[in-house]
Chain A
């Protein structure tokens, strides 16, 4: 079955450390996205990528970095510069068909300890 796999599901990080969240898709989608969800808020866009080796900042990119070396993979690094990293992180991909929206992964809960 096609889908998006995020790993790990739960992640703990010490303050001052960088950490990388994995996102892999086998849907053959060109576009991939990273969103962050905080309690009581909607999903906010961190970064997106339309094609391999290209990515763009979203609304809250500060303190994050991404790479897109392969079509299937779009890892997100949460750097020590991110002031409030504890959140639920969601990766998504989309096809060009407008009405279908995104396919989301199951998310990674990051907690800074």
Chain B
């Protein structure tokens, strides 16, 4: 039972164009959503997050949109650059139990390739 889904395993876009990566979730208990970028044989690096009480968060070329009623979020990268080529993971956060630990549930990732 996948609680976080990224239905597109890969995406190719031209340099300078917009990249749109999509993510769907099923658990209403998630209260934060995050995007991570990952290069091969490296750990994921945090990119941008959004609280469940917001519908948009922007940081430079990266914008995350949240549609809570549809349980859908998306990451927009404008303009796309060749250095953006990586695997992008969507993650949803919920508190594990009383205490500071929060579980991140990850999607299966989308390989973004930005063509020069």
What residues of chain A lie closer than 8 Å to B29, measured between beta carbons? none
Beta-carbon contacts under 8 Å, B18-53 to A: 31-32, 34, 36, 41-46, 49, 51
Beta-carbon contacts under 8 Å, A29-81 to B: 30-31, 33, 35, 40-45, 48-51, 56, 58
CB distance from A54 to the nearest CB of B (A): 9
Q: Do A100 and B46 touch (CB < 8 A)? A: yes
**Separation of A92 and B106 alpha carbons in the complex (Å):** 14
Contacting A105 at CB < 8 Å: which of B43, B46, B91, B96? B43
Q: Do B108 and A98 touch (CB < 8 A)? A: no
Instruction: Give the interface size bracket for A toward B.
Output: 35 or more
Q: Do B51 and A98 touch (CB < 8 A)? A: yes
User: B16 an interface residue at 8 Å Cβ cutoff?
Assistant: no
**Considering only CB atoms, which chain B residue lies closest to A103 in the complex?**
B46
What residues of chain B lie closer than 8 Å to A2, measured between beta carbons? none
Interface residue tally for chain B (C-beta within 8 Å): 31
Beta-carbon contacts under 8 Å, A67-113 to B: 88, 90, 92, 94-96, 98-107, 109
Q: Do B89 and A43 touch (CB < 8 A)? A: yes
**Considering only CB atoms, which chain A residue lies closest to B2 in the complex?**
A42
User: B82 an interface residue at 8 Å Cβ cutoff?
Assistant: no
Q: Do B36 and A101 touch (CB < 8 A)? A: yes
Q: Do A106 and B32 touch (CB < 8 A)? A: no
Contacting A31 at CB < 8 Å: which of B6, B101, B109? B101
Q: Do B100 and A102 touch (CB < 8 A)? A: no
Which residues of A does B touch, CB under 8 Å?
Answer: 4, 6, 9, 30-31, 33, 35, 40-45, 48-51, 56, 58, 88, 90, 92, 94-96, 98-107, 109
Task: Give me 21 A-to-B residue pairs in the complex whose CB atoms sit less than 8 angstroms apart, sorted by A's number.
Answer: A31-B100, A33-B101, A42-B6, A42-B109, A43-B106, A44-B106, A49-B101, A50-B96, A50-B101, A56-B97, A58-B103, A98-B32, A99-B32, A99-B49, A100-B49, A101-B34, A101-B36, A101-B91, A104-B36, A104-B44, A106-B43
Given contacts A49-B101, A51-B99, 13 further A-B contacts (CB under 8 A): A9-B41, A30-B100, A40-B108, A41-B108, A42-B106, A42-B107, A43-B106, A44-B106, A94-B101, A98-B93, A99-B32, A102-B46, A107-B43
